[in-house]
Homo-oligomer: A and B are copies of this chain.
Amino acid sequence: MRNPQLNSHGELQHLLTIEGLPREILTAILDTAAPFTEVAEREVKKLPLLRGKSVFNLFFENSTRTRTTFEIAAKRLSADVINLNISTSSTAKGETLLDTVDNLCAMQADMFVVRHASSGAPFLMARHLAAMGLDHIHVINAGDGRHAHPTQGLLDMYTIRHYKKDFTRLAVAIVGDLLHSRVARSQIQALATLGVPEIRVIGPKTLMPTDIDRMGVRVFHDMRAGLRDVDVVMMLRLQNERMQGALLPSPQEFFKYYGLTAEKLACARPDAIVMHPGPMNRGVEIDSAVADGPNAVILPQVTFGIAVRMAVMSMLAGS
């Protein structure tokens, strides 16, 4: 079966997941993003690449931060952006996801940015568009259930390449709640595709998927051992709703074992970079001294995130 994200010319048609995307596509996205980081520093931060296009931010799950990054990216490309917070409207009226999509397509949508609590919702949309012959309409997954968050994975790769240049000599550790993290899945797939030889995951057994080793990673439950000599530390966000759950003793306990402190970070290479997808829970998964310290590249991640989203949007619109 053809990769549903690529068109018949092998170009990016949708961005649904990192999984299965060839290395050339990932690299092309990162290469396309590079000049967009310079646009953001100009006096007039506008490019006409998506002028007259209608981009719909379809957020079935509330996320002001992620929605904002896509809104900025689309506006800097001169698109018309329409924000739809769907939980409060059509779905409440009993309309199905695909009826909503059909309607917005009938309004001549050009691109959907979708956040949904159900894994696979963006795939369902892409498959439906293909079935309807609507090949000129593109879907970007902005996070679906526990499944994927590909633009986050891509901006993380952009950040690593920016600071470390060569993926093929790196040791990278991903730390925290691997079980519930769509971010971690996208990161692992991207790191593997780009040739990172050593990918480690660190976390308590209760927050580690049982089949994680199938993804080609080394599993650590001791954080100091896991961080030993790594070049990149990628912290995951601990969802508030997990903190009260049965899987964890308490935020304090979690911090003791898996919170990134300067002392634990000392196990990594001295020039290791520290990443976090945000928003941070300071004092839970990361200590402020590290979050604001010299190894952190958490804010550059945000900046690169806009450029990467502009790159994805412009590649989709051009395909």
Contact = CB atoms under 8 A, between A and B. Distances in A.
Interface of A: 40-46, 51-54, 62-65, 68-69, 71-72, 75-76, 80, 82, 84-86, 88-90, 93-96, 99-100, 102-108, 240, 278-282, 299-303, 305-306
B42 A46 contact: no
A303 B305 CA distance: 34
A108 B52 contact: no
A80 B76 contact: yes
How many monomers of this protein are in the complex? 3
Given A99-B279, A107-B302, A64 B85 contact: yes
Nearest to A238: B94
A102 to B, nearest CB: 6
Contacts of A89: 62-65
Nearest to A283: B94
B303 A106 contact: yes
B279 A108 contact: no
Contacts of A71: 82
A299 B64 contact: no
A48 to B, nearest CB: 9
A64 B76 contact: no
The DSSP consensus for interface residues of chain A is mixed
A102 B51 contact: no
B302 A103 contact: yes
The 10 closest A-B CB pairs, nearest first, are A44-B52, A64-B89, A106-B302, A95-B279, A106-B299, A40-B108, A46-B52, A45-B52, A75-B80, A106-B303
16 contacts: A42-B52, A44-B52, A45-B108, A62-B88, A64-B85, A64-B89, A64-B90, A65-B89, A72-B80, A93-B279, A102-B299, A103-B302, A105-B299, A106-B302, A107-B302, A107-B305
Given A52-B44, A279-B99, A86 B64 contact: yes
B82 A65 contact: no
A108 to B, nearest CB: 4
A68 B82 contact: yes
Contact of A240 (B51, B94, B282, B301): B94
A200 to B, nearest CB: 27
B107 A88 contact: no
A6 B105 CA distance: 34
A119 to B, nearest CB: 21
A46 B78 CA distance: 11
Contact of A54 (B45, B52, B62, B240): B45
A303 B107 contact: yes
A62 B91 CA distance: 13
Contacts of A76: 52, 80
B280 A95 contact: yes
Q: Taking each of A40, A299, A306, which has the highest tally of chain B beta carbons within 10 Å of its own beta carbon?
A: A299
A108 B62 contact: no
A54 to B, nearest CB: 6
A288 to B, nearest CB: 10
A41 B108 contact: yes
Given A42-B52, A94-B281, A99-B280, A88 B106 contact: no
